Structure 1
């Protein structure tokens, strides 16, 4: 259980960072928000891949789910930026 949480946070941080890299311009969000949005993006990407393909098991890294996670995290970062706006320093 603890191992799963640690891996989720690490993968979420990586996905959040990748999502910020693919977005043009500067995003003024904290590292914590990036990790949280990355985790949410990973969950959404994994869920979307499972829902669309019906494939629940994989051996190794599922690259399509990873790419969908980065796209979902990028969308979440854009939406977060629109909601928060320039209020955050």
Structure 2
């Protein structure tokens, strides 16, 4: 399945506290459990006024459905072409 990076504009995202992040996670997990399609949320990063998420799904449309059902913005949904890191050197 393709892996996607989702960019979400959330004012003050980088300053969200543990309880707020926990609630977002609970909502996301509940939506994932209710989807009629395979879906994996890998991780998210809150920085500045953005949240960047990495998810695996059968299509970008399913990623957008997850966002809609969870009440999350999805400003951009981009399929990851390749992954690399220090282990790639």
Give the shorter-chain TM-score range: 0.3 to 0.5
Larger RCO of the pair (alpha carbons < 8 Å, separation 6+): 2
What TM-score do you get using the length of structure 1 for normalisation? Answer: 0.34
More strand by proportion, 1 or 2?
A: 2
- Indicate the structure with greater helix content: 1
